[in-house]
Amino acid sequence: MDTALPTDQRIIAEAERLFREVGYAKTTVADIACACGMSPANVYRFFKSKSAINEAICRRHLGQVEALARDIAGADASASARLRTYAARIHEQTCERYMAEKRLHDMVAAAINEHWSVIGPHKQTMRGVLRDIIADGAATGEFPVRDVDRAASLAAIALMKFCHPLVVAEHIDEDLAGQAAAMADFLVNALRAGAV
């Protein structure tokens, strides 16, 4: 336990450790409090529930995915190349984070199933990153699209199978990396044809 961390961050760190070791469902607020060397009442001063702690953990993880997506969008490459990289890297990170560790997947599944406020903004952020890539392509004439917002929304839907942790889990036995690359090619070709 890192006592140099602020109390709320210590709670988040210990909770995530317990969620990974014991499982989200089996961990109680009392367990988290004990790991932090404090009373459950003190934990409740910072977080109103175990769900709120998990929401904070998920917010941090999703923020890291968003940072990767922004890095891809800001890269010095064509819009087509960035769209292909987005599909490949976001899928890869989803698999590394949520499929390799079942308990981390369970934490994210709980967040999604409970409709926490962190999920909606994350979807908007990721759609916004796709919009930025497509808008760049439209500005240079690479993607002669008429409606950038609609194109970004459709791209997000098309890539959901490869980037959404619960959907990836349902199709994990398939060649998702290959499918993600093929879908990215399809999107690039559609955008270059001005299909939207």
Could you tell me the pTM of the whole model?
A: 0.85
How many CB atoms neighbour CB 80 within 10 A?
19
Per-residue confidence (pLDDT) for residue 142, from 0 to 100 = 97
* Rounded distance between C-alpha atoms, residue 192 and residue 186, angstroms: 10
- Residue 104's pLDDT is what? 72
Other beta carbons within 10 angstroms of residue 64's beta carbon come to 11
**What are φ and ψ of residue 85, in 5° steps?**
-65, -40
Percent of the chain residues topping a pLDDT of 70: 95
DSSP state of 80: H
For residues 94-125, one letter each, b for 16 or more C-beta atoms within 10 angstroms of the residue's C-beta and e for the rest, the string is bbebbeeeebbbbbbbbbbeeebebbeebeee
The domains found in the chain, sorted by start residue, are 7-46 (1.10.10.60), 57-192 (1.10.357.10)
Rounded Cα gap, residues 9 and 91, in angstroms: 28
Low-confidence ranges of the chain (pLDDT < 50): none
Cα end-to-end distance, the chain, whole Å? 52
Cite the beta strand spans of the chain per DSSP E.
none
Tell me, what's the pLDDT at 107? 75
**Percent of the chain's residues with pLDDT above 90:** 67
Q: Which two tokens stand for residue 163?
A: 């980037």
pLDDT value, residue 160 = 94
